[in-house]
């Protein structure tokens, strides 16, 4: 079986040594020594000032919205994992869906301003597949209308643009360390911010609102990362560069093998971006390729290859959100088209090259 992804893990023996230390200390959670070490090391690795670790990326986003006191309406994308919009719902915020641009599948900045109303308080874009949004244009719009910008950067671990971490843009950025991600701590996530005051507020909110043993400064939740996750993360940092190199090598093979097939569209490289490939998406243009995306999907599965249709359906098509005015397909023509074409192929660090070649061969043989 060739699955769409597979987690990269460090040597088991090294993790056992750390587990023994945690076992002996009996310090399992609540800002323990491994939590402190991982938070510091992660910030240094990513090139950011302040990192707050979380049990998962969804809780990180829910808390980030609380930290910025976001209310009313937030402009976001329908082309993402559903947790992006669920976090708004859990905060009592109305999502307003903005169409995407076709080249990188990110929020289209040219469509944002028409969606702004007196109730709009923030913009929540996603760096889809780790390709940076048009951060300068989005910030320009946000500044003009006095809006906050929170980036869902769950695909963008370690991504840089012009040598600068993509996480340094916007007011806050959210990371996920889920098992499907380039960098994993089993589950896990983080909020990246730019000043110490905001870091403290986020840390209070993720720990029930406690400022000290007897002082609660706000209605926080329990979203802390435990010592086992933090220890794995600290160990993972030793190997993440090797993981990224292997993923880039596989990404390049796909790029070379599939780039000349008519009807198979690939995302273009942005030479200003240093990628950490999360997925390898292709877009099956039925009128040219001769078969639909779902026909290719089914054929691959019959050969023991399990790709994913990331992202299908659109978030705007799910029952909790499809009644919103902004969820109308007429308002989201590019996203509606792309969601019917996209197919993310298997990509992980130890995927054998012969498996990559086999995936490409199956797709090539299907072209009419």
Residue range 306-337, pLDDT digits in tens: 999 999 999 999 999 999 999 999 999 999 99
**pLDDT > 80? residue 368:** no
Per-residue DSSP letters for 319-356? TTTTTSGGG-GGG-HHHHHHTTTEEEEP--TT--HHHH
Res 200: pLDDT: 97
Cα angle 61, 38, 250; round to 5: 75
Q: What is the mean pLDDT of residues 48-52?
A: 98
Residues 211 and 262 in one domain: no
Residues 62 and 129 in one domain: yes
Domains contained in the chain, number: 2
Residues 79 and 204 in one domain: yes
Residues 47 and 164 in one domain: yes
Residues 232 and 269 in one domain: no
Residues 17 and 60 in one domain: yes
Residues 223 and 266 in one domain: no
Which ranges constitute the DSSP H helices of 91-238? 135-145, 196-205, 227-236
* CA-based R_g, the chain, Å: 21
Instruction: Look at residues 221, 236, 251 and tell me which one is the last residue of a structural domain.
Output: 236
**pLDDT > 90? residue 353:** yes
Residues 99 and 164 in one domain: yes
Residues 226 and 281 in one domain: no
Residue range 31-48, pLDDT digits in tens: 999 999 999 999 999 999
Res 7: pLDDT: 97
Res 268: pLDDT: 87
Q: What is the mean pLDDT of residues 155-160?
A: 98
Average pLDDT, the chain: 97
Cβ burial of 161 (10 Å; 0-12, 13-18, 19+) is buried
Report whether 199 contacts 40 (CB < 8 A): no
**pLDDT > 90? residue 140:** yes
Q: What is the mean pLDDT of residues 348-353?
A: 98
Res 269: pLDDT: 87
**pLDDT > 80? residue 271:** yes
Q: What is the mean pLDDT of residues 292-314?
A: 98
Instruction: Look at residues 213, 236, 259 and tell me which one is the last residue of a structural domain.
Output: 236
Residues 31 and 169 in one domain: yes
Residues 213 and 263 in one domain: no
Considering Cα of 301, then 303, then 304, then 307, what sign does the dihedral take?
A: negative
Cβ burial of 299 (10 Å; 0-12, 13-18, 19+) is middle
For residue 359, give the CATH number of its domain.
3.90.1150.10
Residues 224 and 247 in one domain: no
Q: What is the mean pLDDT of residues 277-282?
A: 96
Q: What is the mean pLDDT of residues 162-190?
A: 98
Q: How confident is the model at residue 30 (pLDDT cuts 50, 70, 90)?
A: very high
Res 8: pLDDT: 97
Residue 132 C-alpha from the chain's centroid: 11
Residue 62 C-alpha from the chain's centroid: 15
Return the closest-CA partner of residue 359 out of 288, 282, 291.
Answer: 282
**Residue 345 and residue 343: Cα distance in Å, rounded?**
6
DSSP bridge pairs for 51: 192
For residue 81, give the CATH number of its domain.
3.40.640.10
Instruction: Look at residues 184, 208, 236 and tell me which one is the last residue of a structural domain.
Output: 236
Q: How confident is the model at residue 61 (pLDDT cuts 50, 70, 90)?
A: very high
**pLDDT > 80? residue 155:** yes
Which residue segment(s) compose the domain that 300 sits in?
240-366
Q: What is the mean pLDDT of residues 65-92?
A: 98
Res 173: pLDDT: 98
**pLDDT > 90? residue 9:** yes
């Amino acid at each position: 079986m060739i699955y769409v992804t597979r987690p990269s893990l460090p040597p088991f023996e090294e993790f056992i040594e750390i587990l023994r230390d945690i076992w002996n200390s009996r310090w399992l959670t609540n800002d323990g020594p491994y939590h402190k070490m991982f938070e510091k090391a992660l910030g240094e690795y990513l090139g950011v000032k302040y990192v707050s670790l979380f049990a998962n990326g969804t809780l990180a986003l829910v808390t980030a919205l609380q930290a910025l006191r976001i209310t009313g309406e937030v402009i976001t994308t329908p082309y993402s994992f559903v947790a992006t919009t669920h976090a708004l719902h859990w905060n009592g915020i109305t999502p307003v869906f903005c169409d995407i641009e076709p080249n990188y599948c990110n929020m289209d900045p040219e469509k944002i301003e028409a969606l702004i109303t007196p109730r709009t308080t923030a913009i929540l874009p996603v760096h889809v597949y780790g390709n940076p949004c048009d951060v300068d244009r989005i910030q320009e719009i946000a500044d003009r209308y006095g809006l906050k910008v929170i980036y869902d950067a769950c695909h963008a671990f370690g991504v840089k643009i012009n040598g600068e971490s993509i996480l340094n843009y916007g007011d806050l950025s959210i990371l996920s360390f889920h098992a499907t991600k380039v960098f994993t701590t089993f589950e896990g996530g983080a909020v990246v911010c730019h000043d110490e005051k905001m870091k403290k507020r986020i840390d209070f909110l993720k720990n029930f609102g406690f400022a000290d043993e007897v002082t609660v400064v706000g209605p926080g939740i329990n979203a802390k990362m435990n010592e086992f996750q933090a220890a794995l993360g600290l160990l993972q940092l030793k190997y993440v560069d090797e993981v990224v190199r292997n993923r880039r090598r596989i990404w390049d093979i796909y790029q070379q093998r599939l780039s000349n097939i008519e009807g198979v569209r690939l995302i273009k490289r942005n030479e200003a971006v240093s990628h950490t490939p999360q997925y390898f998406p292709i877009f099956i243009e039925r009128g040219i390729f001769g078969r639909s995306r779902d026909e290719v999907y089914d054929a691959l599965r019959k050969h023991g290859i399990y790709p994913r249709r990331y992202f299908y359906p659109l978030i705007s098509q799910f029952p909790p959100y499809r009644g919103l005015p902004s969820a109308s397909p007429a308002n989201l023509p590019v996203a509606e088209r792309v969601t019917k074409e996209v197919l993310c192929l298997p990509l992980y660090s130890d995927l054998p090259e012969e498996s990559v070649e086999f995936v490409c061969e199956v797709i090539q043989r299907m072209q009419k």
